[in-house]
Each structure stands twice: as C-alpha cells, then as structure tokens.
Structure 1
Amino acid sequence: MTRARRTHKKRGPAPLADKRDQYLRLMAQGMSNSAACRELGINRRTGTRWRYGRKEVDQAGRERTYPPISERPDTDAISPRFLSEEERLVIADLLRAGNSLRAIARQLDRDPATISREVRRNRDPRTGAYHPFHAQRRAVVRRARSKDGKIQRDPELKQFIQRHLDQRWSPEQISQALRTAFPDEPERHLAHETIYQAIYLPHRGGLERQPSTLRTGRQARRRRRRADQRATRFVDPGTLIHQRPAEVEDRQVPGHWEGDLIVGQGNRSAIGTLVDRTTRYVKLLHIPGRHTADNVRDALLAAFADLPAGLARSITWDQGSEMSRHDEFTAVTGIPIYFCEPASPWQRGSNENMNGLLRQYFPKGGDLSAYSAEDLAFVAVELNNRPRKTLGWQAPAELFAKIIATIE
C-alpha cells in the first residue's frame, strides 16, 4: 500500500487591503463601481461584494454575512486631536443653524482652521452640503490609506534581508546583522518585528514568503491575545495561571500542586504526576485504560481524598483535553485548578523536572499500562526519599511529614 502524498493547500493572492482602501476612496469621490474596478484592475463582482456585502453558506449549512467594507466597524483607537463622529454631528447642526465657522470652533473648543479644513475637505463635492456621516466615512478612508514600508522603499535593504532569509536566518538575527552591516545608517536598523510584518504582509513589505522562510513554516500569523483576554479551550474555560494567588509564586505555602501526564507509546497509556511546589513531594496517579477526562478526574479525586485541606490548596495543569472535566473535580473538592498558557511547560517547572526523573523508571516509548498501582507507589516512595539540593538536602518525604504533623 503506497503512502498518500501530502499536499499543501495553495494560498491565494496577497491580501487586497491596499486595493480596498483605494476602492473606498474612489467610491467616496462619486466614481461608479465599474469605473473603480477598472481603475484598480479587479473584477467587477469583487467590487460589488465590497460595496454591498455578501452572504455565504459553509459546508455545515451555517450562513455567514459579510457587511459592506464601508460599514465594517473601525476598531482602531485614534488620537483625540482628530474630530470624532459626534463632533461632526455638532458641526452639521450648527452649520444648518447659520453659525459661523469661528463660532462652531469656540463651541467645540477647536481651532477655527480645523473646522474650516473639515468642512472644505469632507463636504459633498456636488452640492457643497456638509453631511456628518458621509464626512466621517471620507475621514476614515483617508486615515486608513496604506503606504510602502521602509523595506519596500529601500531595494538594497530589501535585498540584504531577503538574502539572509534565504539562508534561513531568523528575523531577530537579521535585525542584529543590520547594525553591523550599516553601522552609520540608523535608518536601516530595523526591529525584528518590522521584518516579520514584511514577511506576513508581502504586498507591503515586498519580501518573498515561502514555506521555508520562517522556521515555523507558518504562512499566516497566529492571532495572539493579551494575557487578560486569553481563555482555555474547554467548555468551562477555567482559570489561567496569571490569576493564581500570590502565595503560589513564592513557594512558601505548601499544598499548591503542579500536575501533568507522561504518556506511553502511541499515546495509548499514561501515568498522572503531581508535585507539591513547596516540598517537591510527588504523587503518581494510576490511570487504568485510556487517559480520558473521566479517568483523570477520578484519579485526581482518589489522590486528594486522603490529604488534609492545608495540603490541598490548588493544582496547576496544562490545557490538555484530559482536564476538560476540571470543573467537576473542583465542584467536589473545592480545589481550584489553574491552567498554563499553551506550549508553556516552564510554567510548571517543578513538574517538568519530576517528569524527567520519572523517565528513569518509565522510559519513553514503553507501555505504561503494564505498571500497577503498587509499582507507582514504589517509585513515588523512592523519589520522595531522595534528598534534594533545592530543599537544603532534605528529602521531600521528610519535609512533607513535618508539615502534616504541624497541621494535625
């Protein structure tokens, strides 16, 4: 049986952001759709979709509506020195009432030249009347116009960057090399983010984008959110690591655990691991069968059943699908679970270190379902009785026992 050849979906043309901006400007000037499309070299149907919007039905039967580009919300924050839509409404009302431009400027606390320029540039070219919403659209289109970037304007700089990209240099490495190559030309010293944008937006940066251009092979930029906007991918989104109490960070209060799974060959078996951040005490979870969310939840309930409340304060885990029933565990035990950011194992440093030690007992590529609960208990005892440098050469079991004695 021959292996099926992998095919890569061919990407379409570069984004038409520049042409959309130009289309809006031409339409605002009173040009017809056909004439604007001829001017820009685009299909007339494309202009019609931009002007009137469109509806599409995907394969699942869901209908999606795309509004006209002139009606799409403008989410970019602008400086208060620019006139707002509310101010344009006031200008229109005062003009109809017969107020002078200077009187309008005084009422809006603006310079008279600002009001004069606004009325002159954004009034209807045919009738001379000032319509506030039409003026707002013209101002938005004018503000959103694009321009060539620094790399596009400098052929030598562009050639230097492209040559190093072809040699598989990263944008950050190229950014540093520019300072050495052009020491007396600070205008050619670019931040690596500028190079990234020129790669992902070739219609502005002019750099060739190939699958091997960046080490990730990514053809489109992955959207990222700020830490306070991120959420887990579970039905119950859970709480992210940035919202943990401050006492978790300093490791002075025991009972805050880090957890994960180590998996066997083919991802068909797993062992759960829990490490106390303060004492480095480890508990191993026996998970018979597949490591489904139900089985992991039950294993966690069993692990915390015999712990006093002072040693069961929180758990930090990654966002693996095995934790999708975290809310049920928390509802039963009252123990909150905090989730790391995706692909951020260093946020569970103690647990990652312990998982490395466990591979001495459970080598990678093996069948972890072959180990019984008694086998896991034996390994946990060995690790907990091993002295640790980070604990002043005390053993986790010794320190854990002292804490239990003080609680009881």
Structure 2
Amino acid sequence: MEMTLSTQRPKSNALPMAIVAGLFFILGFATWLNGSLMPYLQQILQLTPFQASLILFSFYIAVTFSALPSATIIRKVGYKNGMALGMATMMVAGLLFIPAAKTQVFALFLFAQLVMGSGITLLQTAVNPYVVRLGPEESAAARISIMGILNKGAGVIAPIVFTALILSGFKEVSAPLTQIEIDQMANSLIFPYLGMSVFIGLLALAVKKSPLPELESEDEGESSQNKGHIKEALSHPNLALGVVALFFYVAVEVIAGDTIGTFALSLGVENYSIMTSYTMMCMVIGYILGIALIPRFISQQAALMVSAILGLILSAGIVFGSNDSYMIANVILAPFGVAKIPDTLLMIAFLGLANAIVWPAVFPLALSGMGKLTSTGSALLVMGISGGAFGPLLWGGMSSATSLGMQGGYLVMLPCYAFILFYAVKGHKMKSWS
C-alpha cells in the first residue's frame, strides 16, 4: 500500500495541520491528567506506590491489545473516521469515571483508564501518519515537534485545571483525610469528567464532518493478512528496534511525567498535583529547540543521541542526589518567587527536556522505507506506548525493593536511556538482521 493524500485535498495543508494540531492537544490533555490522577487516587483510596502504578498500567497496557486492531479498523473505515471513533471511545471512558467516583471502587477506575487508553490508541494510530505525510520526510521530526508542543502544552494545563477544579480545597498533604473529605474529593471528579466527555464527543462529530483529507490506500491487504504484514514489517530492523526504543522512551516519559507528583507527595511538597506541569514545560522547551534546530543545525539522529545521554546523566542525579538540596531551585526558581522544590524533583522535571525529541526523531527514522507497510508500522510503533504501562510498574516495584524508596525506583530509567542511545548510534541504520 502506498499512502497518499486524497485527490480532493486542498491546495494548502494549513487546515489539515490545524485540525491535527487540535487532536494532539486533546491527546495530551487526556493523557497527562494521569500525573494528577495517580497521587489523587493514592490519597483518597490509600494505595501503596505499587497499587498507584496500576493506574498508569491500566491506561497504557490498552495499547498492547488495541494498536493492531486499530490498524485494522482504520483500513476498514479510513483514517478520518478512525479518529472520530477513537474520540468516541474516549468519551465513553470519561463517562465511566462518574460511577467510579461515586462508588470509590478502585477496579472501576482501572477499567475507565483501560477504555481511555484504547480510545487514545486508536486516535494515535490514525493521527500520527498525517503528520509524517503532510510534508517532506526529512522534516517530519520538526512537524511532530510542533504537534508535541501542543500535546505537552496540554500536559502543562491539565494538572493545573485538575488541581483548580478538584483539589483546590485540600492543600494539606501531611494530614490524613477524613471520610467526608474523601467523599468530597471523589464527587468533585464528576462534573469535570462529564464536561470533558461532552466536549470530546462534540469534537468527534466535528472531525467526521471536517474537510480533513483522507489518506488513501492502494491494494491494501485484508485483515486476514495482518500476520503477514506484521512479519514483513518486523523484518526491517530500523522499525523493529524503533518499536523497542519507543517502548523504553514512553516508559521513562511516563515515569518522569506521572510519578513526579507521587514522589512529591511522599516528600510533603504542597501542590504535588501540579508537578507534572513542570515536566511538561521542560518538554515544551525541548520541542521548541527541536523545531529550531532540526534539521537545519542538527540531524534527527544526533538530537536523539544527545537526548539519551542527557537522560542517563539526569537519571543518575535523581537516584544519587539529596532530597534536602535546593541548590537548583535557588538558582532557577528563587528569582521568580517560585516555591522551593528539591533538586531531585527538578531533575525529574528536566527529564522532559531529554525526552522531548525522542518520539519525533524515532518515529520517522523507524518508518523510513516502509512504503506499503506504513500503517502496520505505525500501529507497531504506537504499541511502544505500552512502555508507559510497564515503566511505572517497574518503578513501583523498585521503590519497594530498594532502601532508597521511591527515589531508588528511578534506577529503572538507566537501561531505558541506554537502549535509546544504541538506537541513535546504530539501531536506526540497520537495514537487515544479518
């Protein structure tokens, strides 16, 4: 299959890019709510760090079983309808949070997260190829970086909105909650998630009726040939290793973005629920640098290598740094009157800078030369998002296994960045397994 834009496409790609940009914002908002939701549920349901990590696991594990079915759905209904179906699934997931909040049953929250992850996977599988195809392949990383700014910009906003709507009346993190406070916090979830569900549902209808051009396929095999497509796609080492690289990348991205609030809660930091915003702000800065530098001053491969090395350095600093040190905050935050934050937390936030370029660089490198296998390759790459399920799970397990507690849990990031460095240096160049 060769994917091309429909012959009815407009002369300018500005409107399609604007629509796709809006979808990336929605993806970011729904995804990075997890950074606030995780410590929130840990507090009201009295969860252990490992149990809290299941909130992220249930969200991201959905990718494992829904990515390839998503590719099949897209082949049958088209990319634009696939986007609408993905958002409809997200709407249903948002509605599921209402009975979960009412009953305060942990399993219902996990199921709602599972459905939300499935909807986001379908939307991701449909929308990412648009960004790659709406322009030259060599500048794809820059276009994905633009989308990433919106995605991670939504990640900056989402924790702030969550805190304002749900946690504004609960500032004290050291005192245990009473049952009345727990009930109030749980009930405060209902209207925000109801509003989000209605908005996403309306957006799904708008996308279906929009002039977004279809990505057409020629001679695409039927779903019965899926196994053949997968085998053929995985015969390309740059794709297969790219899937692994994205698996490890999403693992560290989710650890940095979604566990920082839980770690801050354990350190007694006020407004722990907005800590994800710090990581996302650093990612936005990284995306801006990517747009400015790639490919004019630095190649996608070189940027990926720098990102991996920075990730290794910061990971070591987090594990072996002092939670009582505020040196970085005194230099960077104090002049702006921002509350002091331990250096270890700020280094977790700085991982956003290291992570920003990884997805934009790996995705086009992995799809390079895939041709008719692009949709299958895209689905396999999106499956790498399942790393977001296992990364926090390993972090939670390591937190319980080491004497350093949650701080020691960040050891799991070191091998992840090491593999990303391998892909940047050698893996993306491999054209055969021999």
Name the TM-score class by shorter chain: under 0.3
Greater length-normalized contact order (CA 8 Å, ≥ 6 residues apart): 2
TM-score when scaled to structure 1?
Answer: 0.19
Larger C-alpha radius of gyration, 1 or 2?
A: 1
Q: Which has the higher helix share?
A: 2
